[in-house]
């Protein structure tokens, strides 16, 4: 064994190395799977060789994902979160709640990016959402495909009966108008404000 494997790493470094949470490392310590040395300041240090000896111990967790479009809907975001956590509670899953705020057309939301990263690094056992549109307005099938590939269970609490084409189209158009209205509000030009007035009238 190399000298490098005899060195000690911080709890943060150990978490990244093993792909588990800091809480999982502390649980392993309580269970006697690993031992931690303490610095003079009381910080944990783990021996690299011990960490490398732990095989296939990555803990896959349950992600509870909720999203709203605007800051005005923060109350709805809290309601979603509470509903998901209440549903998961009896199962005693290792859960993490991801709250997102932004349009269903925005693929760059921080929460969504974090969810994709967790999925791609095989850290998710199941994904629980209130409605498929909470992921994305368009393209949620892509997230479901990633879940299928990574053998992640998907639980949708509100499985509504499929709506008609006209109703779906109306919802999509409203979503697009909401996004572009926000962008137009961000620009102070008289021309954009005039366009916004026309959109609102329509």
For every residue of 78-94, DSSP letters joined together read HHHHHHHHHHHGGGT--
State residue 111's pLDDT score.
92
Length of the chain: 202
Tell which residue, 132, 87, 96, 138, has the closest CA to residue 117.
96
Q: 61-156, what's its fold?
A: Rossmann fold (3.40.50)
The residue ranges of every structural domain in the chain are: 3-53, 61-156, 165-201
- Hey, CA dihedral for 23, 24, 28, 34, is it positive or negative? negative
CATH class of the domain whose range is 3-53: mainly alpha
| Integer Cα distance of 91 and 93 in angstroms | 5
- Tell me how far CA of residue 133 lies from CA of 42, 103, 137, 141, 159, in angstroms: 46, 11, 5, 10, 11
Beta strand residue intervals within the chain, DSSP E:
8-10, 36-38, 44-47, 61-68, 95-101, 124-129, 153-156
Distance CA 94, CA 61 (A): 5
Tokens of 67: 């999203």
Q: Give the other-Cβ count within 10 Å of 101's Cβ.
A: 17
> Which pLDDT does position 53 carry in this prediction?
80
pTM of the model: 0.56
pLDDT at 167: 60
Predicted local confidence at residue 2, as pLDDT: 46
pLDDT of residue 77: 93
pLDDT along the chain (202 residues), means of 10: 68 81 82 87 88 70 92 90 94 92 80 92 91 81 90 86 55 55 53 58 61
Q: What pLDDT, on a 0 to 100 scale, did the predictor assign at position 1?
A: 45
Helix, strand, or coil (residue 4): helix
Judge whether 21 counts as a catalytic residue. no
From the candidates 21, 69, 181, 189, give the one annotated as an active-site residue.
Answer: 69
């Amino acid at each position: 064994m190399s000298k490098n494997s005899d060195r000690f790493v911080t709890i943060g470094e150990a978490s990244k190395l093993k792909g588990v949470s800091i809480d999982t490392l502390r649980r392993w310590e309580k269970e006697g799977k690993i031992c931690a040395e303490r610095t003079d300041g009381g910080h944990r240090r783990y021996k690299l060789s011990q960490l490398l000896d732990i095989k296939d111990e990555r803990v896959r967790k349950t992600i509870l994902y909720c999203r709203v479009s605007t800051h005005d809907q923060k109350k709805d975001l809290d309601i979603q979160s509470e509903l998901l956590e209440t549903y998961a509670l009896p199962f005693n899953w290792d859960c993490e709640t991801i709250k997102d705020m932004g349009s269903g057309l925005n693929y760059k939301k921080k929460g969504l990016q974090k969810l994709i990263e967790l999925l791609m690094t095989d850290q998710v056992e199941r994904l629980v959402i209130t409605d498929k549109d909470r992921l994305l307005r368009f393209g949620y099938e892509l997230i479901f495909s990633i879940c299928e590939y990574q053998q992640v269970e998907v639980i949708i609490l509100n499985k509504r009966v499929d709506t008609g084409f006209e109703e779906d189209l109306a919802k999509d158009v409203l979503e697009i108008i909401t996004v572009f209205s926000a962008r137009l509000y961000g620009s102070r030009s008289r021309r954009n404000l005039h366009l916004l007035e026309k959109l609102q009238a329509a």
